[in-house]
Protein backbone atom coordinates (compact mmCIF):
# COMPACT_ATOMS: atom_id res chain seq x y z
CA UNK A 1 0.00 0.00 0.00
CA UNK A 2 1.13 3.53 -0.58
CA UNK A 3 1.52 5.92 2.37
CA UNK A 4 -1.96 7.50 2.01
CA UNK A 5 -3.60 4.09 2.12
CA UNK A 6 -1.49 3.10 5.13
CA UNK A 7 -2.58 6.26 6.98
CA UNK A 8 -6.26 5.69 6.21
CA UNK A 9 -6.04 2.00 7.13
CA UNK A 10 -4.38 2.96 10.41
CA UNK A 11 -7.36 5.20 11.13
CA UNK A 12 -9.72 2.36 10.26
CA UNK A 13 -7.93 0.10 12.74
CA UNK A 14 -8.21 2.80 15.43
CA UNK A 15 -12.01 2.75 15.20
CA UNK A 16 -14.21 0.62 17.47
CA UNK A 17 -15.57 -2.51 15.77
CA UNK A 18 -19.05 -1.01 15.30
CA UNK A 19 -17.64 1.97 13.43
CA UNK A 20 -15.35 -0.29 11.36
CA UNK A 21 -18.42 -2.22 10.26
CA UNK A 22 -20.12 1.05 9.27
CA UNK A 23 -17.09 1.95 7.12
CA UNK A 24 -17.01 -1.49 5.50
CA UNK A 25 -20.74 -1.30 4.73
CA UNK A 26 -20.37 2.19 3.23
CA UNK A 27 -17.49 1.04 1.03
CA UNK A 28 -19.46 -2.03 -0.06
CA UNK A 29 -22.46 0.16 -0.93
CA UNK A 30 -20.20 2.40 -3.00
CA UNK A 31 -18.65 -0.47 -4.96
CA UNK A 32 -21.91 -2.44 -5.33
CA UNK A 33 -23.87 0.49 -6.81
CA UNK A 34 -22.03 1.65 -9.90
CA UNK A 35 -24.94 3.81 -11.06
CA UNK A 36 -25.31 5.49 -7.65
CA UNK A 37 -21.68 6.28 -6.88
CA UNK A 38 -22.03 9.99 -7.64
CA UNK A 39 -24.99 10.36 -5.28
CA UNK A 40 -23.23 8.34 -2.58
CA UNK A 41 -20.17 10.57 -2.97
CA UNK A 42 -22.28 13.75 -2.90
CA UNK A 43 -24.07 12.62 0.27
CA UNK A 44 -20.77 11.81 1.96
CA UNK A 45 -19.26 15.15 0.92
CA UNK A 46 -22.20 17.00 2.52
CA UNK A 47 -21.96 15.02 5.74
CA UNK A 48 -18.19 15.55 5.91
CA UNK A 49 -18.58 19.29 5.31
CA UNK A 50 -20.94 19.49 8.30
CA UNK A 51 -18.20 18.13 10.57
CA UNK A 52 -15.64 20.82 9.62
CA UNK A 53 -12.65 19.18 11.35
CA UNK A 54 -10.21 22.00 10.53
CA UNK A 55 -9.60 24.18 13.55
CA UNK A 56 -11.79 22.06 15.81
CA UNK A 57 -10.83 19.84 18.72
CA UNK A 58 -11.72 16.69 16.78
CA UNK A 59 -8.89 14.15 16.89
CA UNK A 60 -8.08 12.52 13.56
CA UNK A 61 -8.48 8.76 13.85
CA UNK A 62 -5.90 8.28 11.10
CA UNK A 63 -2.99 10.26 12.50
CA UNK A 64 -4.07 11.32 16.00
CA UNK A 65 -3.72 15.04 15.31
CA UNK A 66 -6.29 17.59 16.45
Domain borders along the chain are 3-51
| pTM, two decimal places | 0.79
E strand or H helix that includes residue 23 = helix 17-32
Contact 34, 26 (CB under 8 A): no
* Predicted local distance difference test score (pLDDT) of residue 18: 97
| pLDDT tens for the 66 residues of the chain, in order | 999 899 899 999 999 999 999 999 999 999 999 999 999 999 999 998 888 766 667 777 777 777
Rounded CA gap, 4 and 31, in Å?
20
Amino acid sequence: MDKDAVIVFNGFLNLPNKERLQVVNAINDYFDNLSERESIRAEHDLRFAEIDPVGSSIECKCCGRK
